[in-house]
A and B are shown apart, each in its own frame.
Chain A
């Protein structure tokens, strides 16, 4: 079992719709969770971080964390063609003094006009 798992996609979404991305993690005591957006050939860009159960909203993005079920999700509202990218879920595991990020394989999102 991979430490951080994502559906590779592509997730095809009509412009203006909601894109829903999921990520599961194996370490029950993971403590910090991040969503990065990565355009093809570019570096990852942090878009959301979440640390406690529940929802966190920032503009068109909402991150949701459920530690009991060990999943974190990202919702993109009013999806735009510029949101077409790969979204990487990253986790800092519990008891990790190095604060090392462990990444999922990424979900490719395609927003169609």
Chain B
């Protein structure tokens, strides 16, 4: 089993719908992150969490919300999806991130039509 699991892998949804992307990890890391990737723009941070009670906004949090249900689970929600939220979404975890970097999930490809 993968260390960081994202579901679903692919999703097509309609404008205005609410959608949740889920992430779970077995690495025992405290820190979890949600990034989105658009062609040519690299990965941009949406939200991050240091533990269940510590949630922080990243550089592009507008239109998104998150929930840290447990140390191992971190969900990203789009309350009312819009087409420019079409992107590849990655969940990542870290322990001592400045030394070891991050471990990424396999990604969720989201298309909003």
Write out the residue numbers on chain B whose beta carbons fall within 8 Å of the beta carbon of A4: 42
Chain B 20-47 near chain A by CB (<8 Å), digits 1 or 0 = 0000000000010101000011111100
Q: Which stretch of B11-19, B64-72, B103-111 is in the interface?
A: B103-111
Instruction: Tell whether A25 is near chain B: CB-to-CB under 8 Å.
Output: no
- Cβ contact within 8 Å between B100 and A49: yes
Instruction: Please give me the residue from chain A that is nearest to B33 by CB atom.
Output: A100
Cα of A43 to Cα of B31 in the assembled complex, Å: 18
Cα of A45 to Cα of B104 in the assembled complex, Å: 8
Write out the residue numbers on chain A whose beta carbons fall within 8 Å of the beta carbon of B106: 42-43
- Cβ contact within 8 Å between A101 and B42: no
Number of B residues, CB within 8 Å of A: 29
Cα of A34 to Cα of B98 in the assembled complex, Å: 9
Instruction: Tell whether A21 is near chain B: CB-to-CB under 8 Å.
Output: no
Cα of A34 to Cα of B44 in the assembled complex, Å: 16
Write out the residue numbers on chain A whose beta carbons fall within 8 Å of the beta carbon of B43: 44, 88, 101, 103
Q: A31-62: which have CB < 8 Å to B?
A: 31-32, 34, 36, 41-46, 49, 51
Write out the residue numbers on chain A whose beta carbons fall within 8 Å of the beta carbon of B45: 100-102
- Cβ contact within 8 Å between A99 and B42: no
**28 A-B contacts, Cβ less than 8 Å apart?**
A8-B40, A31-B98, A32-B99, A36-B101, A41-B88, A43-B90, A43-B104, A43-B106, A44-B90, A44-B104, A46-B101, A49-B99, A49-B101, A88-B42, A98-B48, A98-B50, A99-B31, A99-B97, A101-B33, A101-B43, A101-B45, A103-B35, A103-B42, A103-B43, A103-B44, A105-B42, A106-B40, A106-B42
Q: A43-B104, A98-B56, A106-B42 are known contacts; what are 7 more A-B pairs with Cβ within 8 Å?
A: A8-B40, A42-B106, A46-B102, A49-B100, A88-B42, A98-B48, A99-B94
